[in-house]
């Protein structure tokens, strides 16, 4: 591996890093989004309600969120290759151990452990890429983060096929071993770039401002984390982003069981989940283009309104064709929303402490959004329907539109 490392010219290695981080996010989010594919198998095997089973993903997301800030600290202070190598085993082993489940609490523990490594691999990619790129940084961010959309596109149908062929227990083993191998291989090519002077880094960072910021008469200067916490903008950004993430988590976990409840086959449900991931890739690219022309604030409003309309329509979707239309529109809007959050963070707080401020935003948002699947599961247990859960998520999204509109 070191030999391949040396063959790649330093001038091109930054794009190799993009591909490596894209692969990492493909694995992490592909596995995360595939939890819903295991839902019915786990419910039958463990004899639990959907609400109780949803606690596994809630636990995973809470740990995932709580790990982000300390993970960022570790990435800044320790060798990236070492941190990522350890995390590869920390991710694959608990996933494989899920094959031995006999009690529900064991699922909570294993998915909680998965959350630690997922948190290490989460927002840290943006910090790594920021060090490697002095030009085309936005493009690098967008391409690497597309792994979060590509993962469900590939892993969800693969998981469904493996369960159908080998059963859910063997599927956990296969996914665990494959994840470990791929993540460990990626870790061997992850490293920091050659040292740059602070003047060079500072002058480069000035190039990467949102178009909104260029139009604002008095854009906020670079802020520290403490200063950012004292503003109302950070509250509005967290609130708006939380509504989108709550909704996406509800869909990821519950869309497959909802689809089968509506008479749609498990295969079509898995394909729809993949289409959400696939169309989210296009959404990132398209709304990144739109952002450059109308700004992050208006772009995010468009995405939230589209997601809200999809959620209000979902309880009435009963055909395969309509289900695929929902998946495409929701995926486009959800994917398009993702690049708006870091853009708004830069717009409001500058680039001086962007990494730690964004880690805080992402951490809080993921903690809040972890409650979404749990709430939807309990609503189903009480009403035997997801209708109220989907309508509630739709209302939250329109509250998110209000929050975005309040950002000055």
Average pLDDT, stretch 194-220? 43
- The count of C-alpha atoms lying within 13 angstroms of the C-alpha of 204, restricted to the half-sphere facing its C-beta, is 15
The percent of residues in the chain predicted with pLDDT above 70, rounded, is: 85
**Cα dist. 258→42, 124, 280 in Å?**
16, 34, 21
Q: Per residue in 34-84, pLDDT tens?
A: 888 888 888 888 888 877 888 888 888 888 888 887 877 777 677 888 889
What pLDDT is stored for residue 294 in this prediction?
Answer: 84
DSSP 15-29: HHHHHHHHHHHHHHH
Per-residue pLDDT of 322-357, as tens digits, reads 888 999 999 999 888 887 887 788 778 876 666 677
Considering only residues 32 and 310, tell me which one the structure prediction assigns the higher pLDDT: 310
Residue 397 has pLDDT above 60, yes or no: yes
Q: How far is 359 from 68, CA to CA, in rounded Å?
A: 6
What is the residue-averaged pLDDT of the chain? 81
Mean pLDDT, range 273-292, rounded to an integer: 80
CB atoms within 10 A of CB 101: 18
Q: What is the pTM of this model?
A: 0.68
Query: Reduced to 3 states, what is the DSSP secondary structure of residue 221?
Result: coil
Domains of the chain: 1-203 (1.20.1250.20), 209-408 (1.20.1250.20)
* pLDDT exceeds cutoff 60 at 203: no
CA-CA distance, 366 to 118, in Å (whole number)? 12
- Comparing 6 with 311, the larger pLDDT belongs to 311
Cβ neighbors of 364 (< 8 A, separation 6 or more) are 65, 238, 242
């Amino acid at each position: 591996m070191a030999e391949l490392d040396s063959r790649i010219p330093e001038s091109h290695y930054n794009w190799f890093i993009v591909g490596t981080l894209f692969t990492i996010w493909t694995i992490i989010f592909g596995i995360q989004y595939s939890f819903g594919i295991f839902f019915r198998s786990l419910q039958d095997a463990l004899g639990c309600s959907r609400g109780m089973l949803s606690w596994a993903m809630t636990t995973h997301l809470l740990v995932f969120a709580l790990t982000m800030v300390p993970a960022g600290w570790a990435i800044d202070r320790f060798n990236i290759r070492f941190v990522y190598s350890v995390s590869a085993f920390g991710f694959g082993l608990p996933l494989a151990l899920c094959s031995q489940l006999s009690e529900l609490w064991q699922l909570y523990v294993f998915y909680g452990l998965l959350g630690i490594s997922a948190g290490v691999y989460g927002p840290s990619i943006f910090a790594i890429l920021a060090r490697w790129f002095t030009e085309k940084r936005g493009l690098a961010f967008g391409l690497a983060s597309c792994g979060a959309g590509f993962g469900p596109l590939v892993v969800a149908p693969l998981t469904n096929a493996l369960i159908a062929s080998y059963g859910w227990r063997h599927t956990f083993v296969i996914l665990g071993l494959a994840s470990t191998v791929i993540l460990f291989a990626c870790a061997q090519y992850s490293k920091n770039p050659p040292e740059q002077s602070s003047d060079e880094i500072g002058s480069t960072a000035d190039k990467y401002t949102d178009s909104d910021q260029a139009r604002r008469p008095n854009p906020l200067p670079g802020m520290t984390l403490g200063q950012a916490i004292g503003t109302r903008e950070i509250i509005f950004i967290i609130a708006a982003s939380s509504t989108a993430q709550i909704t996406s988590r509800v869909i990821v976990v519950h869309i497959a069981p909802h689809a089968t409840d509506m008479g749609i086959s498990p295969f079509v449900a898995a394909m729809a989940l993949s289409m959400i991931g696939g169309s989210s890739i296009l959404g990132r690219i398209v709304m990144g283009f739109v952002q450059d022309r109308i700004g992050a604030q208006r772009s995010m409003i468009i995405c939230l309104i589209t997601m809200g309309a999809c959620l209000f329509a979902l309880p009435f979707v009963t055909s395969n064709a309509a289900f695929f239309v929902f998946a495409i529109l929701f995926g486009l809007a959800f994917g398009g929303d993702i690049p708006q959050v870091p853009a708004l963070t830069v717009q409001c707080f500058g680039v001086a402490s962007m990494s730690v401020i964004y880690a805080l935003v992402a951490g809080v948002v993921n903690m809040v959004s972890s409650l979404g699947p749990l709430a939807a599961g309990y609503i189903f247990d009480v009403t035997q329907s997801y209708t109220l859960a989907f309508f509630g998520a739709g209302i939250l999204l329109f509250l998110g539109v209000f929050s975005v509109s309040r950002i000055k």
